[in-house]
Structure 1
Amino acid sequence: MSSEVQATGVTTTASPTGFVQVLRRYPLVSYFVMAYAISWFYVIVFEIIWPLPDTIVTDVPLLFGPVVAGFVMTAVVAGRAGVKQLLRRLVLWRVSPRWYLLAFVGMPALYLLGLALVPGAFSSVSLPLSTLLLLPVFFVVLLVTGGPLLEEPGWRGFALPRLQLRWGPLVGTLILGVLWAGWHVPQYFTPVFAATNGGLTLPGVAIFLVGAVSFSVIITWAFNHTKASLVIAILIHQCINFSQGLTTTILPGAKNNEVGPVFVFALAALIIVLATRGRLGYTAPAESNP
């Protein structure tokens, strides 16, 4: 797996003085502070204090935090070569077909299995021809506006390799899952996100947190088996979001009920942890600097 970690560009260049030196000394803290600050500023100012119209276009900027911070910090700690490696991982699609099956078949299957635990989830089905024909468009739109394409270059592109190197695969993934969930907190004060994710209540937040950590375990497991491919990380994230969005539309009885799906994803994550003895497919490189 050394090649997988080497592909992440976990290296440093000569350290200058001043602010850049601080960023290089504390790359993970700097990354998360930057990712949170960019996204939280937008959500707090333009979606809570002075809310803009709730449209696809106005929602996209809140996603800039992870990707901007990811590329900035990669440039700071690994230079131009690191940025090029990050970009290559964004198009690293030549991996075993089973990982595509995990994303396109496994994620929807787990989600539907979870919905089967929700009473009345399949009591009615609404799938007009127009919705069916527009599914590819919906998939692409959600890919950008739903988060995966703009989040994963940061969460999994920059942070995960360093978290695994410093804390190990399991603890590093748990840290990332919690911080990933925490990044969403201001969005609970926006109507659409709050309604979709159980509202700003203790049960709603707990379910979301368990979901984020469980998804993180599954993504890390795939990430470590695909030479740190961000294509697979993005697709797994996307197929989870797509399953949620689609079932909300075609299964009115399951709308905004995530308890069953989160339980099933948590069970799947636990099985992966036990089966891999917490390694999640990770092998530390012989030499590398976080």
Structure 2
Amino acid sequence: MSTLILGVVVSGWHVPILFLEEDGLRAPIVVGYLLGSVAVTFWYTWLFNHTGGSVLITLVSHAAQGTITIGGFWSAGADFAQANLLFGLVASAVAIGLVLFDRKAWRGPAASYFPRKK
């Protein structure tokens, strides 16, 4: 649940990027972008939890995903809108897969990254 809340916050944080794109406020672009932002937050949470709490690996993953943007591959227009929507749907499918197939990691107690004192 906390990852979902974080995903909504992250989406809100990234909304200004929509104003930088030509025709960025079209419905498929907005839906795909916001859906993708929430879904990618699940990826990063999963990655953080499965690398022993490595912020570096999560940051490198975010930088790579941010560097290879959809706008860099498609010009504004119908293709760009479809690509954004497709990214949101695929990212959501991956996030749902992470939650379903690694249910134990999401439902269990939070991992402690600090050794216990004796």
SS at match of 2:65: helix
Matched, 1:194 2:25: no
CA offsets, 1:146-205, max 9 Å, x none?
xxxxxxxxxxxxxxxxxxxxxxxxx1111111111111234434xxx233xx62244332
Q: TM-score, normalised by structure 1?
A: 0.33
Distance 2:107 2:68 in 1: 26
| Equivalent residue letter for 1:205 | V
CA offsets, 1:40-93, max 9 Å, x none?
xxxxxxxxxxxxxxxxxxxxxxxxxxxxxxxxxxxxxxxxxxxxxxxxxxxxxx
How many residues in Structure 1 have an aligned counterpart in Structure 2?
A: 109
- For residue 238 of structure 1, report the CA deviation from its aligned partner: 1.9
SS at match of 1:228: coil
Whether the 8 Å CA contact 1:272–1:280 is kept in 2: the answer is no
Matched, 1:248 2:75: no
- For residue 269 of structure 1, report the CA deviation from its aligned partner: 0.8
Distance 2:86 2:28 in 1: 13
- For residue 212 of structure 1, report the CA deviation from its aligned partner: 0.7
* Partner residue, 2:9: 179
Structure 2 unmatched runs, 5+: 113-118
Relative to structure 1, is the Cα distance of residues 283 and 226 closer, same or farther in structure 2, using a 3 angstrom cutoff? farther
- For residue 285 of structure 1, report the CA deviation from its aligned partner: 5.3
Distance 2:104 2:11 in 1: 21
Relative to structure 1, is the Cα distance of residues 280 and 240 closer, same or farther in structure 2, using a 3 angstrom cutoff? farther
| Equivalent residue letter for 1:176 | L
Relative to structure 1, is the Cα distance of residues 258 and 278 closer, same or farther in structure 2, using a 3 angstrom cutoff? farther
* Partner residue, 1:261: 87
* Partner residue, 1:270: 96
SS at match of 2:10: helix
| Equivalent residue letter for 2:51 | T
Distance 1:188 1:255 in 2: 12
Whichever of the two has the greater Rg, that structure is 1
Matched, 1:234 2:59: yes
CA offsets, 1:217-241, max 9 Å, x none?
1111110011211111112212222
1:1-290 counterparts in 2 under 5 A?
A: 171-189=1-19, 193-195=20-22, 199-244=24-69, 248-249=72-73, 255=80, 257-277=83-103, 279-280=105-106, 283-284=109-110
Relative to structure 1, is the Cα distance of residues 261 and 188 closer, same or farther in structure 2, using a 3 angstrom cutoff? closer
| Identity over aligned pairs, percent | 31
SS at match of 1:200: coil
CA-based RMSD of the aligned residues comes to 2.9
Structure 1 unmatched runs, 5+: 1-170
